[in-house]
């Protein structure tokens, strides 16, 4: 370890990807027309198979079966604007479902009669429909298919709306949890300035380092407003060196720190304020529970598709629930990681009587 005089690494300008947990799901990527055309095309395959297998012989049956995909495509495409208005009206499903059943039956009758009339105009003879049960069977089949289409349409729209609402909620909550950390850091930095207020050189060093860190924090907030929820880890590590310089002024020789991160790790996009709460806890609880000098290290590397990050400090672990424990930053970070990455991220605490180490593993998805 050394006294913290490290050179700030240069990190390339990256366009951070969205966090894994905030990626659009399958429902959001599906669009209407591929589903529409693909579904009715598949529906047409069944009567074609029956025809080639010799199961359909009557000309009117064959006409209605082979044109069902086209008529269904045209009818449901025409229904789409009406369905969109109905969905925006937010009709309760207890009322909507009976209406959809009635609509499917009425449309099934109208569609069947329209296709029969077109077939008659084309000179296709009608034999089978002399029997009422055959007619009823065709109507019910068409009505059931239309009802399934309507249920799928409203079901997918509802699921997509729910997924979007949940995603916006997760982003808002993650933003709120991150914002709770900045006042915590500012309070610590101001305490340091007060402690060295009689030394002009130290005050200048602390103030400049604090200004640099706050500039970085403001840049992250501006990035979030433009939809950029991550930044290269190297940017935060460089900013945390400013934080450590502030603490170095405060503690002097009683603080020894080092940052060891590979270039791959520094380029890896991470959520804002990922390391900061861990570093704050390391300094706060390390100096309260361990001998001087307090030793703090930050290490990061990419291995097996994961960003492995660790913050270690001398001292011993303070159990949650004890009078000393107040690890708001750590609990917030756990919650943020769960919101952003789900189960693909982990945060573990390892400790001995003389050392505490917090380890984070995240998916490593460096920007191209």
Give me the pLDDT at residue 6, please.
44
Separation between Cα atoms, residue 276 and residue 266, nearest integer Å: 15
Give me the pLDDT at residue 16, please.
34
Give me the pLDDT at residue 359, please.
95
Q: What are phi and psi of 67, to 5 degrees?
A: -95, 0
Separation between Cα atoms, residue 183 and residue 39, nearest integer Å: 54
Give me the pLDDT at residue 189, please.
75
DSSP state of 253: G
Cα dihedral: 214, 217, 223, 224 (round 10)? -130
Of the chain, the percentage scoring pLDDT greater than 70 comes to: 75
Give me the pLDDT at residue 266, please.
94
pLDDT in tens, 177-216: 555 555 666 776 788 788 888 888 888 888 888 888 778 7
Give me the pLDDT at residue 1, please.
43
Give me the pLDDT at residue 361, please.
95
Domain boundaries, the chain: 31-166, 180-363
CB 87, CB 154: distance < 8 Å: yes
Q: In sequence order, what are the residues at sequence separation of 6 or more whose Cβ sits closer than 8 angstroms to the Cβ of residue 255?
A: 4, 244, 247, 248, 283, 287, 293, 294, 296
CATH number for 180-363 (one of 3.40.225.10, 3.30.565.10, 1.10.10.60, 1.10.510.10): it is 3.30.565.10
Q: Which helix (H) or strand (E) holds 34?
A: helix 32-52
Separation between Cα atoms, residue 246 and residue 205, nearest integer Å: 7
pTM of the predicted protein model: 0.54
Separation between Cα atoms, residue 28 and residue 163, nearest integer Å: 8
Give me the pLDDT at residue 299, please.
96
Pick out the chain residues at pLDDT < 50.
1-25, 226-228, 366-368
CB 60, CB 126: distance < 8 Å: yes
């Amino acid at each position: 370890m050394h006294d913290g005089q490290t050179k700030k690494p240069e990190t390339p300008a990256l366009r951070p990807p969205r966090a894994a947990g905030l990626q659009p799901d399958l429902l959001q990527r599906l669009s209407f027309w591929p589903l529409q055309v693909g579904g009715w095309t598949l529906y047409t395959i069944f009567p074609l198979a029956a025809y080639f297998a010799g199961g359909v012989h009557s000309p009117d049956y064959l006409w209605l079966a082979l044109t069902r995909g086209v008529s269904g495509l045209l009818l449901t495409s025409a229904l789409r604007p009406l369905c969109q208005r109905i969905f925006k009206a937010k009709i309760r499903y207890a009322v909507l479902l009976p209406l959809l059943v009635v609509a499917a039956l009425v449309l099934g009758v109208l569609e069947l009669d329209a296709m029969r009339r077109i077939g008659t105009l084309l000179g296709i003879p009608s034999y089978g429909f002399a029997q009422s049960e055959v007619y009823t069977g065709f109507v019910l089949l068409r009505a059931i298919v239309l009802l399934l289409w309507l249920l799928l349409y409203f079901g997918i729209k509802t699921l997509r709306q729910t997924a979007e609402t949940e995603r916006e909620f997760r982003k808002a909550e993650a933003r709120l949890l991150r914002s709770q950390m900045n006042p915590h850091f500012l309070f610590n930095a101001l305490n340091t300035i007060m402690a060295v207020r009689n030394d002009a050189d130290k005050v200048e060093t602390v103030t400049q380092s604090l200004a640099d860190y706050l500039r970085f924090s403001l840049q992250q907030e501006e990035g979030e407003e433009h939809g950029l929820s991550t930044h290269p880890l190297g940017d935060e590590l460089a900013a945390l060196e400013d934080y450590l310089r502030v603490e170095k002024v405060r503690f002097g020789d009683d603080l020894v720190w080092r940052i060891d991160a590979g270039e791959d790790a520094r380029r890896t996009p991470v959520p804002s304020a990922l390391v900061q709460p861990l570093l704050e806890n390391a300094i706060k609880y390390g100096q309260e529970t361990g001998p001087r000098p307090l030793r703090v290290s930050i290490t990061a590397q990419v291995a097996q598709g994961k960003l492995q990050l660790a913050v270690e400090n001398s001292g011993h672990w303070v159990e949650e629930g004890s009078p000393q424990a107040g690890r708001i930053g750590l609990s917030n970070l756990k919650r943020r990681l769960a919101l952003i990455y789900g189960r693909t991220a982990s945060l573990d605490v390892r400790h001995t009587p003389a050392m505490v180490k917090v380890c984070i593993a995240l998916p490593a998805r460096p920007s191209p």
